[in-house]
Chain A
Amino acid sequence: MNVWIAIGATVVGCYAVKLAGLLVPAGALERPVVKRLAALLPVALLAALTAQQTFADGQTLVLDARAAGLAAAAVALLLRAPFLLVVAAAVVVTAGVRAMGAG
């Protein structure tokens, strides 16, 4: 039930902001500070989420196979690999490190 509450809130919230962008008059949110903040907010959230989903196990910090997978993804990004290849690199390397018995 809790999961459905979370899904419902996310559905309503995410649709509302999409629609708001199309409906509010141009210029209403065009203040430079608002635009800068809107551009930086996803940077902060994505960075924190990347770190947490790589190094967290519940509420403890751990270093396991996922770190190797993420490093592989970072290398793939530096080599300008397409999106799917970046994700595949992380998955394959994580699975490989686990299969070798580490992490």
Chain B
Amino acid sequence: MPLFDYSLLLTGKYHDMLVAGLLLSLQLLAASLVLALPIALVVALLRLSPLAPLRWLGFAYVETIRNIPLLAHMLFWYFGAPELLPEGIKQWLYAGHIEAYSAIIALSLYTAAFMAEDIRSGIRAIPTVQFEAGRALGFGFLSTMRRVVLPQALRVTVPPLISQTLSLWKNTSIATVIGVAELMYQAGQVESATFRSFESFAFASAAYLTVSLAITGLATWYHHRFPVRTI
């Protein structure tokens, strides 16, 4: 019995399964990121809002989500939440890829809570005089944010956001528990079909590491290309 069977990873059915898993993981990452960013921005603005009830709403969102493990979120959005929907919508959803949808919702909402905090910190890093200057020029809260504060804040925020993206990428693996055929799932399937645990998980680890390093590289590049302007 060879120590490490490369052929398993390079060609054939098991290779295809692992690659399909990797592609699905990347899709989960992309879809969740696209959804999480706007939610995070809205939540960050809620937390900085001049209106107390809106601030509480933002606070409640961030703290509830951040303090419950992602695994629980995943199971809730798959086994729990959809059951509350009206029968018709439920049936329509269940006939489709409910596993992947639930995973994307759980991942987006979870990641958004962390990203919101990064964005909020970024906004708070901009001196208040900038905001006050905007208001003095006659802009409202939202316009001041949009025209004066956010363009500066987002530049500060991008490196931590990329770091959250890294966490999001690794977190996609938790979708396994609700039957989403992503990378960890497929590695497990290949293992149980072939008993070649080392090879299948080596593939998964190498794939996670490669994509993670690429994301880290992106953060470093951005940092050099767009340094934070001295305020």
Does A associate with B in a complex? no
